[in-house]
Chain A
Amino acid sequence: MNAPVPRDALAAAASSAGVGPAVAEFPDPGPAERRSRQAEVVTALSAVLPTSLLLWQEEDTIPYECDGLTAYRERPLVVALPETEEQVRAVLKVCHRLRVPVVARGAGTGLSGGAMPHRMGVTLSLARFNRILQIDRRSRSARVQCGVRNLAISEAASPHGLYYAPDPSSQIACTIGGNVAENSGGVHCLKYGLTLHNVLRVRGFTMEGELVEFGSEALDAPGLDLLPLVVGSEGMLAVVTEVTVRLVPKPQLARCIMASFPSVQAAGEAVAQVIAEGIIPAGLEMMDRPMTAAVEDFVHAGYDLKAAAILLCESDGTAEEVEEEVRRMTEVLSGCGASRLEVSRDEAQRLRFWSGRKNAFPASGRISPDYMCMDSTIPRKRLADILTAIGEMENRHGLRCVNVFHAGDGNLHPLILFDANRPGELERAEAFGAEILETSVRLGGTVTGEHGVGIEKIRSMCVQFSPEEREQMAALKRAFDPAGLLNPGKVIPTLHRCAEYGQMHVKKGLLPFAELPRF
């Protein structure tokens, strides 16, 4: 969503969104007391950081008031910009002693408000941790500081014929630390996995300021495998300062098939059929006609504007492998009723095929004053069902929705178009979005595939998880952060707020496999 919302409206939204604990544990004491708390925190932090690395004047903290989810904004008490691990440790120790919430931040490209500041907290910007410490060709790994950009890792590894596989659309700007916090995906994760599958080791600090390492440069580490908890924990378990990632050999060749389909149902069927044939494409993406029209107007990639849906199906590997796979993919796609097939002839054309997909968000920004990007995942076979349901919702909510999917993963990115300046449209868009998420859960999916819960989807967590499951997550957080100071108010809604959200949202009530226990 890219429409700013005034703070009062946000406060109302946040309280109805179930961010109760933040409000309860860290009460907003009013301007005068906030100023005195700010002075106390600035004084304490000045003892451990040069004042040039601290920001607290309003005009300095404004740039930090939101992440990529710009509708939700908040000013932090203080922004700290440490440059060394020692300084990170010192800031955490001070905050722990004074019981100040800490919100870690990378490039601020997140799409769910995970890095939205806390009004009574310190925003810990790790932007200065931007050094690549080691690219090891022999072990095919890179050890980098958390603020290194995703794409910068692949660029540095390139001379060795290696790259870092996960490629979220924001990869030119987003940092590896942010990727770890969100367990970011990308268009190639069906074949190459998510951030979790490509991270070997994470180094950071607990809220108490204790150095801790998860994983190792071997393929496993003693004890519980805590990497899957830390990766995707949205900055709520530890502050990450250094990451070792796995690098993989660059494929010699990649070719992309662009296939047109007369209906979204046929395209959805083709996705399932490709997989059923035993093919794991390097990328398998789908756009519906309204989306295709929007991006074609923007990038002129030569998309088929008559198709109800187009699929981008990519093969990579050695020349022999790609030839074999493209042949098999073409057969399957034709067999599923593709009305037009085009295989990229060269790298320039392949990148042109992808340019529209990668620019889906900015293209949507051109056709609508505002848009809200959803991120649910469903079983692949339900693609046609969810599209039909979204079509009905468009009529009911009186808003348009354009659709792009990581089809191979069943990960949807419906973009709801609206105009925040028109009274009531934002609320209608939010209701539309919530309905997409609830429908996804009902179809056997999840409320977020790769963007994270943050502040945006905290209410939808009530739909997906039972009170006992949410309490288990809260207990898990306390095991890492007993004082509850790391990014409070995100991800896990309180029981109370979920109860308020509505009794009709019965968790998992309509899931398949009714014989399984549900509580």
Chain B
Amino acid sequence: MSKALNSLVERVRAAREARTPLAIRGAGTKSFYGGAVTGETLDVRELSGISSYEPSELVLTARAGTPLADIEAALAERGQWLPFEPPHFPDPERPGLRGGTIGGAVAAGLSGPSRSSVGSLRDFVLGATLLNGQAEVLSFGGQVMKNVAGYDVSRVLPGSLGILGVICEVSLKVLPLPPASATLRFDCSEAEAIERLQAWGGQPLPIQASAWWQGALVVRLAGAMAAVQAAVHKMGGEGIDPVLAQRFWNGMRDQTDEFFAESRRALADGAALWRLGVPAGTEPLQLVGEQLIEWGGAQRWWVTREPAQRVRERASRAGGHATLYRAKDKAQQLGAGGSVFAPLTPALDRIHRELKKAFDPVGVFNPGRFYPGL
């Protein structure tokens, strides 16, 4: 066992015995996400470095504290990438720079613009090593594409916000960068944009990402050169210069685009930023505020002053759910007993509590970060 891992195991063992909660931390770039956490900081950045990378296997294994940027650079050198495009947020320790670790990316489970076409971060997890609440180091999954031996614990970690244990190492499926891409822009209303995206989705077009805001629908195509060219010809619209397009999609991925920049001002003024996950074809939602639509219609960002209950009700009526993503005072937005993530059905709530107990019996990890009491 490496020294870094050993010291984490010791910390967890001590915390379990003393029943002291721990707040797991990587680069600390996503501390805004989820509920307020209590506990002593457990920094995992000592656990760092790419353990193995085999381009012809399409598999990369890295320790949790490895900076995302290091991984992306190693992949880019071999013409590959993380297709789920994890967002990069400002690094609290290096003003002006963006950071994040691979462990943090997995724990948050956030995926970028191409999620609706290539899959989510979870879809690219092949295996993980987890330090559970009993201070045991466990490996699940592996470094191969197909693996159905036992329960797929590694794939329940994405988005678990650390409540099941400390992610120590992950193996990810990676993909070759698409040989060609192009970005098109269309002027249309929200309802038209949703309709067009559904119609295109039913055709064999290489649509990789989409974004609609204030009457402009921007679509990224990616794939074989011939397929991209044929689609550009077929779909029409206005072509966007590749350099500008790259900047735009990076802004979508990192949530720095104008919509998000403006949302910060509204947040300071008491509004909230909500992330709604809904079936892609859901008709325009009746809320008051500013909206950005991604993922072919399946991800809708709202900056609004509407009460939490109304936002949640709109989302669930459409068959989706709403997360209070950012707010100056989340507790105030949610009211007493409210949770940042949409409430669970009683059956799921029971399973969540039992699962938490199965992995972290005394409740050491990240109390409050996900749901109250978990």
Q: Which residues of B contact A365 (CB under 8 A)?
A: none
In angstroms, Cα B145 to Cα A197, docked, is: 12
- Which residues of chain B have C-beta atoms less than 8 A from A225's C-beta? 109, 122, 155-156, 158-160
A237 nearest in chain B by CB position: B151
Instruction: Check if A445 sits within 8 Å of B295, measured CB to CB.
Output: no
Residue of B145, B169, B343 touching A190 (CB-CB under 8 A) = B145
Q: Does B103 reach chain A (CB closer than 8 Å)?
A: no
Separation of A344 and B97 alpha carbons in the complex (Å): 52
Say yes or no for B263: interface residue by CB 8 A criterion: no
Partner of A453, one of B1, B148, B226: B148
Complexed CA–CA distance, A465 and B52 (Å): 21
Query: Which residues between 286 and 308 of chain B lie within 8 Å of chain A, taking CB atoms?
Result: 295, 298-299
Interface flags for A283-326 (1: CB within 8 Å of B; 0: not) read 00000000000000000000000000000000001101101110
**Interface residue A189 (Cβ < 8 Å from any Cβ of B):** yes
B65 at the A interface (CB under 8 A):
no
Contact residue among B146, B151, B226, B351 (Cβ-Cβ distance under 8 Å from A377): B146
Q: Which A residues, 499 to 519, have Cβ-Cβ distances below 8 Å to chain B?
A: 508, 512-513, 515-517, 519
Q: Does B354 contact A (CB under 8 A)?
A: yes
When distances are taken between beta carbons in the complex, the residues of chain A under 8 Å from B142 are 377, 444-446
Q: Report whether A451 and B148 are in contact in the complex, using a CB–CB cutoff of 8 Å.
A: yes
Looking at the assembled complex, report how far the CB atom of B56 sits from the nearest CB atom of chain A, in whole angstroms: 4
Tell which of B144, B201, B370 has the most Cβ of chain A within 10 Å.
Answer: B144
Chain B residues contacting A411 (CB-CB under 8 Å) are 144-146
A468 in the interface (beta carbon within 8 A): yes
Partner of A491, one of B54, B150, B344, B346: B150
Are A218's CB and B132's CB within 8 A?
Answer: no
Q: Is A422 on the interface with B (CB-CB < 8 A)?
A: no
How many chain A residues sit at the interface, stated as a range, is 35 or more
**Looking at B51, B160, B355, which has the most chain A CB atoms within 10 Å of its CB?**
B355
Is B120 touching A219 in the complex (CB atoms < 8 A)?
Answer: yes
Taking a contact as CB atoms under 8 Å apart, the answer to whether A280 and B176 are in contact is: yes
Chain B residues within 8 Å of A194, by CB: 146
Q: How far is the CB of B82 from chain A (nearest CB, A)?
A: 15
Q: Is there an interface contact between A473 and B56, defined as CB atoms closer than 8 Å?
A: no
Q: Assuming the A-B contacts A206-B347, A472-B138, are A229 and B156 also in contact, with contact meaning beta carbons closer than 8 angstroms in the complex? A: yes
- Asked if B70 is at the interface (CB within 8 A of a chain A CB), the reply is no
Residues from chain B with a CB closer than 8 A to the CB of A444 are 142-144
- The B-contacting residues of A in range 202-227, CB under 8 angstroms, are 206, 210-214, 216-226
Question: Which of chain B's residues has its CB closest to A197's CB?
Answer: B123
Kindly state whether residue A67 has any CB partner on chain B within 8 Å. Answer: no
Q: Which of B51, B153, B202, B341 interacts with A222 by CB under 8 Å?
A: B341
Check if A219 sits within 8 Å of B230, measured CB to CB. no
Q: Is the CB of B57 within 8 A of A380?
A: yes
| Nearest chain A CB to B138 CB, angstrom units | 5
Cα–Cα, bound, A448→B152 (Å) = 12
* Partner-contacting stretch, out of B21-29, B251-259, B274-282, B326-334: B274-282
Q: A221-B277, A275-B58, A278-B179 are in contact. Are A140 and B201 (CB under 8 A)?
A: yes
B224 CB–A CB distance under 8 Å: yes
On whether the beta carbons of A449 and B146 are closer than 8 Å, the reply is yes
Q: How far is the CB of A464 from chain B (nearest CB, A)?
A: 6
Could you tell me how many residues of chain B have their Cβ less than 8 Å away from some Cβ of chain A?
95
| Nearest CB on A from B53, distance (A) | 11
Query: B75 to nearest A CB, angstroms?
Result: 12
Residues of A within 8 A of B352 (CB): 223-224
| CB of B227 closer than 8 Å to a CB of A | yes
Interface membership of B204, Cβ < 8 A: yes
B215 adjacent to chain A (CB < 8 Å): no
Taken together as a complex, chains A and B put the C-alpha atoms of A460 and B148 apart, in Å, by 13
Interface contact A233-B204, CB-CB below 8 Å:
no
Residues on the B chain within 8 Å of A252, using CB:
204
Do the beta carbons of A162 and B145 come within 8 Å of each other?
no
Considering residues A210, A406, A457, which has the most beta carbons from chain B within 10 angstroms of its beta carbon?
A: A210
Which A residues lie within 8 Å of B134 (CB)? Answer: 468
Looking at the complex, which of A41-49, A427-435, A476-484 is the stretch in contact with chain B? Answer: A476-484
Total contacts A to B, CB within 8 angstroms? 279
The 8 A CB mask of A354-396 against B (1 = contact, 0 = none) is 0000000000000000000000011111000000000000000
Give the chain B neighbours of A249 by CB distance below 8 A: 201-204
Cβ-based interface call for A193 (8 A):
yes
In the complex, the answer to whether A379 meets B351 with C-beta atoms within 8 Å is no
The listed residue (B54, B151, B223) touching A379 by CB distance below 8 A is B54
Whether a CB of chain B sits under 8 angstroms from the CB of A185 is: yes
Contacts of A226 in B (CB 8 A): 156, 348, 351
Chain B residue numbers with a CB within 8 Å of A160 are 202
Contact (Cβ within 8 A) A222 B342: yes
Please indicate the chain A residues that have their CB under 8 angstroms from the CB of B319 in the complex: 216-218
Q: How far is the CA of A206 from the CA of B152 in the complex (A)?
A: 19
Determine which residue in B2, B224, B370 has the highest number of CB atoms from chain A within 10 A of its CB, and name it.
B224
CB-defined contacts of A139 to chain B, threshold 8 Å: 198, 279-281
B116 within 8 A of A: yes
**CB-CB nearest in chain A for B1:** A517
Residue on A with the closest CB to B226?
A: A320
> A476 contacts B355, CB within 8 Å?
yes
The answer to whether B115 and A219 have CB atoms under 8 Å apart is yes
Q: Which of chain B's residues 32-53 have a Cβ closer than 8 Å to chain A? A: 51-52
Inter-chain contact B148/A448, CB cutoff 8 Å = yes
Are B2 and A515 closer than 8 Å at their CB atoms?
A: yes
Interface centre among A217, A453, A461 (most CB of B within 10 A): A217
**Bound-state Cα–Cα, A232 to B109, Å:** 21
Q: Which residues of B contact A451 (CB under 8 A)?
A: 148
**Assembled-state Cα–Cα distance A160/B51 (Å):** 46
- State whether A465 and B155 are in contact (beta carbons under 8 Å apart), knowing that A317-B227, A472-B359 are contacts in the complex: no
Instruction: Say whether B90 faces chain A, with CB atoms less than 8 Å apart.
Output: no
Residue A242, interface by CB 8 Å = no
Closest to B224 in A: A321
Please state if B298 and A219 are interface contacts (CB–CB under 8 Å).
yes
Report B-chain residues with C-beta under 8 Å of the C-beta of A497: none
**Nearest A residue to B78 by beta-carbon distance?**
A276
Is A475 among interface residues, defined by CB-CB distance under 8 A? Answer: yes
Judge whether B136 is part of the interface by a CB distance below 8 angstroms. Answer: yes
A508 CB contacts on chain B under 8 angstroms: 139
Contact check, B144 vs A445: say whether CB atoms are below 8 A apart.
yes
Task: Tell me the complex Cα distance, A321–B59, Å.
Answer: 25
Q: Is A161 an interface residue when CB atoms closer than 8 A count as contact?
A: yes
Known contacts A276-B55, A476-B151, A492-B150; is-contact A468 B160 (Cβ 8 Å) = no
For the complex with contacts A272-B57, A446-B148, 4 further pairs of A-B residues with Cβ separation under 8 Å are: A196-B123, A225-B156, A320-B229, A448-B148
Between-chain CB contacts (< 8 Å), 25 pairs: A196-B152, A212-B347, A212-B348, A221-B277, A221-B321, A225-B160, A232-B152, A318-B227, A321-B223, A324-B226, A324-B227, A379-B57, A379-B144, A406-B146, A411-B145, A446-B147, A448-B149, A461-B150, A469-B138, A472-B138, A479-B358, A513-B51, A515-B2, A516-B129, A517-B2
Closest 10 CB pairs of A and B: A320-B226, A278-B176, A228-B155, A479-B354, A475-B358, A449-B146, A276-B56, A222-B342, A321-B227, A212-B347
Q: Which residues of A are interface residues toward B (Cβ below 8 A)?
A: 137-140, 160-162, 182-183, 185, 189-190, 193-194, 196-197, 206, 210-214, 216-226, 228-229, 231-233, 237, 249-252, 272-273, 275-276, 278-280, 317-318, 320-321, 323-325, 377-381, 406, 408-411, 444-453, 457, 460-461, 464-466, 468-470, 472-473, 475-480, 482, 491-492, 508, 512-513, 515-517, 519
Binding site for A on B (CB under 8 A): 1-2, 5, 51-52, 54-59, 61, 79-80, 109, 115-116, 119-120, 122-123, 129, 132, 134, 136-140, 142-153, 155-156, 158-160, 164, 168-169, 175-177, 179, 198, 201-204, 206, 223-227, 229-230, 277-281, 295, 298-299, 319-321, 323, 341-348, 351-352, 354-355, 357-359, 370-371
